[in-house]
Amino acid sequence: MNLTVSLGRLHLPNPILVASGTFGYAKDVSEVFSQVEKMDLAKLGGIIPKTITKMPRPGNAPPRTCETAAGMLNAIGLDNDGLAEFVAQKIPYLREVGSPIIVSIAGRSAEEYAEMAAVLADVPGVAGLELNVSCPNVAHGTDFGKNASACESLVTGVRKACGELPLVVKLTPNVGDVTEIARAAQEGGADAVSLINTVLGMAIDWRTRKPRLGNGFGGLSGPAIKPIALRMVYQVFRAVQIPIIGIGGIETIDDCMEFFLAGASAVQIGTANFYRPTAVMEILSALPAALAEAGVRSVREIVGMVEM
Ligand SMILES: Cc1cc2nc3c(=O)[nH]c(=O)nc-3n(C[C@H](O)[C@H](O)[C@H](O)COP(=O)(O)O)c2cc1C
């Protein structure tokens, strides 16, 4: 069975990746993983560490997470130590893990995205970049993810700054027409798009009359959002020629197969890492048998093959 996938310039050993913000910087979770039999981070198709910004950010006021029916809300607010600290302290460990590292970045302006991309293009061990234009939990976090022309010029600028480094653009579901933004990312020179980031939501404690999150609103993730994500992957597959990484509520091999059929060439596992850390390895080991059951010899043969 051929598990390799190519997303434009980005070549991965298999299509099972872990999503930004749900896997720390790999070191943080490696202890949990080392206690589980057959866990080996080097086997992952790719790791997208928590989004970094140019300068450190403290994140939002607590509480930052809250459970909901079939999912969770978060409003972390891009809490991170900044680019320089990431390169000095996190990259050396990530490099050792042995699976492709796709660094997620968020800038306050197009210039800042490009500046960060130029720095990271020269860092050994960075396999690609994921442009987070879809964070619902910070002011202006989705400015480039909601406006097609802003998205296209952002990606064009980043592409110029980072040369041939593979570029993935991570899309927000909090738009009227996600295909417009996907097309803009393609026009700007993205190798792939990933979708979806979290769905903007809210929880209220009626007894205290206060929102359950310090930020008021937050991003909904987990099984609750899977149907939204599948529908958007299906639509984007029909709108662009570049490959898609599917994200949203994936926790089993069946979920993955559904995303492949909808049009995803690879998937990212997010919230499931919190409540079932074994999920990602279970999915990976079940993949060859599921592809065989579907009657194909590679992931590529099944992508977008849903029959309507
Ligand atoms: C606690 C938490 C933190 C997250 N942080 C980030 C982040 O820093 N950057 C990003 O692009 N997405 C972030 N996400 C979104 C996930 O990467 C993913 O797109 C989303 O949760 C949907 O997938 P899931 O339903 O499998 O979790 C975060 C999600 C959660 C739950």
Ligand 1 contacts (CB < 6 A) are 19-22, 50-51, 72, 74, 76, 78, 104, 132, 135, 170, 197-198, 221-222, 225, 247-250, 269-271
Rounded (10°) angle between helices 178-188 and 148-162: 30
According to the model, what pLDDT value does residue 170 have?
A: 98
According to the model, what pLDDT value does residue 37 have?
A: 64
Q: Which of 16, 17, 20 to mutate to test the pocket of ligand 1 (most atoms within 8 A of CB)?
A: 20
Atom of ligand 1 nearest to the CA of 196: 19
Distance 297 CA to ligand 1 centre (A): 31
- Can 135 be counted among the known catalytic residues? yes
The upper half-sphere exposure of residue 308, i.e. CA atoms within 13 Å in the direction of its Cβ, equals 8
160 dihedral zone (left: phi>0; alpha: psi -120 to 50; beta): alpha
- Amino acid sitting at position 199: V
What is the pLDDT tens value at each position of the chain, 308 positions in all? 899 999 999 999 999 999 999 999 998 888 777 776 667 899 999 999 999 999 999 999 999 999 999 999 999 999 999 999 999 999 999 999 999 999 999 999 999 999 999 999 999 999 999 999 999 888 889 999 999 999 999 999 999 999 999 999 999 999 999 999 999 999 999 999 999 999 999 999 999 999 999 999 999 999 999 999 999 999 999 999 999 999 999 999 999 999 999 999 999 999 999 999 999 999 999 999 999 999 999 999 999 999 98
Distance 20 CA to ligand 1 centre (A): 6
Distance 111 CA to ligand 1 centre (A): 24
Global model pTM greater than 0.75: yes
Tell me the C-alpha distance between 165 and 155, whole Å: 12
Nearest Cα to 98, choosing from 36, 165, 30? 30
- For residue 2, the cross-strand partners are 298
Q: What are the C-alpha distances in Å from 249 to residues 5, 42, 111, 120, 133?
A: 21, 23, 33, 30, 20
Scored b (16 or more CB within 10 A) or e, 47-57 reads: bbbbbbbbeeb
Atom of ligand 1 nearest to the CA of 72: 31
Distance 90 CA to ligand 1 centre (A): 19
